[in-house]
Amino acid sequence: FCGVLYLLPTGCQWRNLPSDFPNRKTVYAYYQIWRKVNENDTSLLEKCIKKLAEIYREQDGGKNQTSLCVVDAQSVKNT
């Protein structure tokens, strides 16, 4: 699980996974299992990450739910 958590935010390539973690093929096999979506349109991996985020937010004294919204826009000059 820690190998998958290391890869997701760092963007590290599977073959560059540090040797502290299990073999990349093993980590990838578990990732494939944990990312499968169930009948509720959520995966085990998604549930685990959300739960960890809630725990960390509460430890920091914040709310356990996300309060962030990202808006993206592009400006184009009219001529």
Q: What is the C-alpha to C-alpha distance for residues 28 and 50, in angstroms, rounded to an integer?
A: 20
Q: Tell whether 68 is covered by a domain.
A: no
Residue 68 pLDDT = 62
Q: Tell whether 37 is covered by a domain.
A: yes
Q: Tell whether 70 is covered by a domain.
A: no
- Average the pLDDT over 57-75 and give the result: 70
Domains held by the chain: number: 1
Q: Is 37 helix (H, G, I), strand (E, B) or coil?
A: strand
Residue 56 pLDDT = 80
Residue 5 pLDDT = 77
Which of the four pLDDT bands, split at 50, 70 and 90, describes residue 69? low
Q: Tell whether 25 is covered by a domain.
A: yes
pLDDT tens digits, 8-62: 777 778 887 888 888 888 988 988 888 888 888 888 888 888 888 888 888 877 6
Q: Tell whether 78 is covered by a domain.
A: no
Q: What is the C-alpha to C-alpha distance for residues 31 and 50, in angstroms, rounded to an integer?
A: 16
Domain range for 25 is: 2-59
